[in-house]
Structure 1
């Protein structure tokens, strides 16, 4: 007969030298952040979808020129930047929680969280660079490669 542990029973602390049995307020702040960022993300995402799909001509109108025109406004740059940062922080925090819950070995947990944080930094840095350095009409480009709205 196999006994299955009660899923509602508190887990014993992981063994190891100097390991604390409580995590302090960090987990509480993470929990509160997830709820608050989730609400803000709903507003940002539905605003993004409304402007891109409902207010315009639908998905067929989204092209290079649409994005170039949208990102010409600092308002939409900040909107998309907030959406990127909040979504990445929200998602990273969620995956971090899953890794903490399910990775049994300290080494495994360290490697997974290291890869997670590396992916977070790469996506946030590259996304931020794209949003703020996007230039649909780069100088010195051949005229046949520029969009129709650029003056050669």
Structure 2
């Protein structure tokens, strides 16, 4: 028993002889970013709970429930700047929260620096694309469209 050497759990050679990923060995580099990312996950999670449950309550409990969700319902909500900002905040926080979580998983499980670089590049491009498209949909959505020259007049649309 005296010949057995037990590595310190915090040493780079722990975890079955594998060397810890580069980002973990250099605690001085990016330490502040990782702390801010950790804090962002906690704060955005709490805010997302409020945004998502508010969204579900308005969409499912107020009015006729899920049967009432159609183009007119969404158009009526997005005719109000309040709901545009609400849904935009929910979109941005959910995308950034999820992207940060996947970034952490990539850092934990991608062993090669090149693999980590490409996975995070794909992740960031996908996140940016979804944020751009989602923001455009919310702010360029026309709640009072004219289809084939016919104005679809709803209660929230101004008279033609």
Q: What TM-score range do you get, normalising by the shorter chain?
A: 0.7 to 0.9
Q: CA deviation at 1:143?
A: 4.2
Aligned to 2:142: 135
Q: CA deviation at 1:25?
A: 1.0
RMSD over equivalenced CA pairs, Å: 2.4
How high is the TM-score relative to the length of structure 2? 0.79
Aligned to 2:57: 50
Aligned to 2:76: 69
The 2-side partners of 1:33 and 1:126 are apart by: 23
The 2-side partners of 1:58 and 1:46 are apart by: 14
Secondary structure (helix, strand or coil) at the match of 2:31 reads: coil
Gaps of 5+ in 1: 1-5
CA contact (8 A) 1:65 1:147 kept: no
Aligned to 1:33: 40
How high is the TM-score relative to the length of structure 1? 0.83
Gaps of 5+ in 2: 1-5, 13-19
The 1-side partners of 2:104 and 2:68 are apart by: 39
Q: How many residues align?
A: 141
Asked which structure has the greater CA Rg, the reply is 2
The 2-side partners of 1:49 and 1:85 are apart by: 17
Superimposed CA distance per residue, residues 40-89 of structure 1 (whole angstroms, 9 cap, x where no aligned partner): 00000000000000012111100000000000000000000000000001
Superimposed CA distance per residue, residues 93-152 of structure 1 (whole angstroms, 9 cap, x where no aligned partner): 00000000000011110000000000000000000000000003345x3046x6463667
Q: How does 1:114-133 map to 2 (within 5 A)?
A: 114-133=121-140
